[in-house]
């Protein structure tokens, strides 16, 4: 309907600047690992429909991730992202803020279409965590800067919450037990935390993760 | 958890700057009008729980509205809002963008807790409409500026979509038929369009609606 908005929202999904697609890849692997038909009550049979629904989670997760990148780049006045000019530099802050909002609203519409309110809750909470983490990072006092606990909490909100909660969503869609869903969540949490720890260490010792 | 974020998000909910509360008022009146127990199949009995759920819709609608005001004020570099300094002027653009995102994510979490995916879809689509309308307004060509059709479409997205879809959500929660839900939607659409038409005319002939 509005070409400028569509172009802005698609900016980081184009070939060559789509990034590593780390989160969607992990989520589809998690789906493969979990879609084994187990003789548990109420388990959803493995089907192409289940796989398609889990793929939606992977897409939604990437949309939320890119939306947060767009807003973060406005906040940080960043010039580059994924080796090209940032969207705020190319199209201005206004379009970048709106494109982020647009991706979030599309993610929310896609989530609702999965017709699973627990999954909607999980991913909506992630957006809240991303904002909380970004604010914690922006407002860190010098005392907080020396607290490992504060750093880990901020890192969970900023990085690990998205992958851990979407791993859990993939498990819930597969009809797995609460126990398995919690294990999927823990896997995502540890992976997300480890990823960010390495990325932060590389700020001192290398280039980028 | 993060005091600065909470303070920013609450900024326009404080006594004296809460605005006219036009949307929540209309929604609660709509709820009263619709919560008549009709002898239709599957109708939800009138209960305090139903009223509480509809009140959540009124709250969510106001949160989405304020979130859009916060982002619009950043986009327009606005200095004042509701007779006080704009949040972007007081706390900066960064905090204003994050506070808007925070309100949207909280609205989404609250929506999910209503456990009605059709209602989640309706309100998620509204956020998409708000962004589309704002972008249409920002990118209007001189030809489009003379089109009444373009103006009405933009006005639906920017103003009427929120109140019309939330009126419909209130009807759906009451267990009303699709026909009644559509009438509630049309009522909100006409009210929203009329409100904005008057507000825009007042830009030329008066002060504010």
How much is the ipTM here? 0.85
- Going by pLDDT thresholds of 50, 70 and 90, the confidence category of residue B209 is low
Helix and strand totals (H; E) in chain A? 8, 2
On whether any CB of chain A is under 8 Å from the CB of B6, the answer is: no
pLDDT higher than 80, residue B14? yes
- Residue A42 to residue A205: CA distance in whole angstroms: 50
On whether any CB of chain B is under 8 Å from the CB of A138, the answer is: yes
More confident residue, B15 or A163: A163
Q: How many CB pairs under 8 A join A and B?
A: 131
A105·B131 Cβ contact <8 A: yes
B135·A95 Cβ contact <8 A: yes
- Residue A79 to residue A60: CA distance in whole angstroms: 26
Mutate to test the interface with B, among A104, A105, A141, A156 (most CBs of B within 10 A): A105
Q: What is the mean pLDDT of chain B?
A: 91
- Residue B58 to residue B94: CA distance in whole angstroms: 27
- Going by pLDDT thresholds of 50, 70 and 90, the confidence category of residue A114 is very high
At residue B155, the pLDDT reads 97
- Going by pLDDT thresholds of 50, 70 and 90, the confidence category of residue A40 is low
At residue B47, the pLDDT reads 80
Give B32-42 pLDDT, tens digit per residue: 999 876 565 66
pLDDT higher than 90, residue A2? no
Q: What is the mean pLDDT of chain A?
A: 91
- Residue A31 to residue A62: CA distance in whole angstroms: 16
Mutate to test the interface with B, among A92, A108, A113, A115 (most CBs of B within 10 A): A108
| Nearest residue to A5 via CA among A75, A101, A84 | A101
Mean pLDDT of B192-202: 94
Give A44-84 pLDDT, tens digit per residue: 556 889 999 999 999 999 999 999 999 999 988 899 999 89
pLDDT higher than 80, residue A29? yes
pLDDT higher than 90, residue A171? yes
At residue B29, the pLDDT reads 96
Full set of structural domains in chain B with CATH? 3-205 (1.10.600.10)
At residue B37, the pLDDT reads 64
At residue B51, the pLDDT reads 94
Distance from the A70 Cα atom to the nearest Cα atom in chain B, whole angstroms? 11
- Going by pLDDT thresholds of 50, 70 and 90, the confidence category of residue B180 is very high
B117·A121 Cβ contact <8 A: no
Distance from the B186 Cα atom to the nearest Cα atom in chain A, whole angstroms? 22
User: B55 is written with which tokens?
Assistant: 């009140």
pLDDT higher than 80, residue B6? yes
- Going by pLDDT thresholds of 50, 70 and 90, the confidence category of residue A43 is low
Residue A2 with chain B: CB contacts under 8 Å: 132, 135-136, 139
A124·B131 Cβ contact <8 A: no
| CA distances in angstroms from A36 to A39, A57, A102, A177, B142, listed in the order given | 10, 18, 36, 13, 58
pLDDT higher than 80, residue B188? yes
User: B140 is written with which tokens?
Assistant: 């209007």
Can you tell me which residue has the tokens 């006045």?
A77
Mean pLDDT of B82-109: 92
Chain A stretch 106-135, residues whose beta carbon is closer than 8 A to a beta carbon of chain B: 106, 108-109, 111-117, 120-121, 124-125, 127-128, 130-132, 134-135
- Nearest beta carbon to residue B108 from set A102, A115, A124: A124
pLDDT higher than 70, residue A94? yes
On whether any CB of chain B is under 8 Å from the CB of A28, the answer is: no
Pairing label, strands A84-85, B80-81: unpaired
Angle CA B203–B151–B98, to nearest 5: 75
At residue A181, the pLDDT reads 97
């Amino acid at each position: 309907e509005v070409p400028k908005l569509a172009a802005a929202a698609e900016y980081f999904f184009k070939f060559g600047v789509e990034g590593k697609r780390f989160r969607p890849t992990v989520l589809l692997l998690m789906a493969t690992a979990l879609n084994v038909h187990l003789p548990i009550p109420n388990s959803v049979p493995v089907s192409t429909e289940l796989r398609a629904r889990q793929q939606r989670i992977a897409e939604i997760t990437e949309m939320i991730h890119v939306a947060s990148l767009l807003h973060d780049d406005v906040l940080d006045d960043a010039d580059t992202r994924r080796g090209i000019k940032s969207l705020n530099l190319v199209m201005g802050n206004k379009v970048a803020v709106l494109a982020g909002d647009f991706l979030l609203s599309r993610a929310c519409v896609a989530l609702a279409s999965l017709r699973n309110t627990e999954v909607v809750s999980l991913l909506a909470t992630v957006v809240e965590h991303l904002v909380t983490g970004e604010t914690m990072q922006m407002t860190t006092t010098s005392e907080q800067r020396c607290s490992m606990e504060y750093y880990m909490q901020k890192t969970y909100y900023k990085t690990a919450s998205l992958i851990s909660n979407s791993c859990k969503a993939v498990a819930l869609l597969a009809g797995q037990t609460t126990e398995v869903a919690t294990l999927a969540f823990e896997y995502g949490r540890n992976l997300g935390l480890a990823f960010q720890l390495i990325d932060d260490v590389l700020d001192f010792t290398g280039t980028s993760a």
